[in-house]
Amino acid sequence: MTMLSKDQILSATDAKIVKLEVPEWGGHIFLKNMSGFERDQFEAETYVQKGKNIEFNRENFRARLCVRAICDENGKNIFTRKDIEALGRKSAKALDRCFAAAQKLNGLSNEDVEELTGE
């Protein structure tokens, strides 16, 4: 394998965008894989330090992932963190569909989800 330079790594196109039909919402959406920064933010919101203890924030877990994954056809996020609660109030079936696809796209195995949620 070729040794990559700093410039090659930083200029590599490693984003993946997929189309997902969401019949509950009457159409399709696009999902992208999160950047390392977005993944760290997601995990930081899930693991909450309370003194010496670490607690799991299960609140809007699915919506928090979907907000970071749902994008336009060019990979630009269409939601912000301010939209988490509103998205979390949408149909559980539709949100589960988006979550499952975003989970797979982002390499979050069921074991990873169990570890993040403590379930």
Residue 59: what pLDDT?
93
Q: How much is the pTM?
A: 0.84
Tokens at 1, concatenated: 């394998």
Residue 31 zone, left/alpha/beta (φ > 0; ψ -120 to 50; rest): beta
Spatial separation of the C-alpha atoms in residues 106 and 19, rounded to whole Å: 14
CB 57 within 8 A of CB 45: yes
Residue 3 falls within a domain, yes or no?
no
Residue 1 falls within a domain, yes or no?
no
CATH value at residue 53? 3.30.2220.20
CB 88 within 8 A of CB 60: yes
Residue 6 falls within a domain, yes or no?
no
DSSP state of 77: B
Q: How many angstroms separate the Cα of 91 from the Cα of each of 31, 40, 60, 63, 86?
A: 18, 27, 13, 11, 11
Mean pLDDT (10-residue bins), the chain, 119 residues: 94 94 98 94 88 89 97 96 97 97 89 62
Q: Which residues pair with residue 101 across a beta bridge?
A: none
Domain count within the chain:
1
Per-residue pLDDT tens over the stretch 64-88:
999 999 999 999 999 999 999 999 9
| Residue 87 structural domain | 17-117
Residue 8 falls within a domain, yes or no?
no
Residue 9 falls within a domain, yes or no?
no
Residue 57 falls within a domain, yes or no?
yes
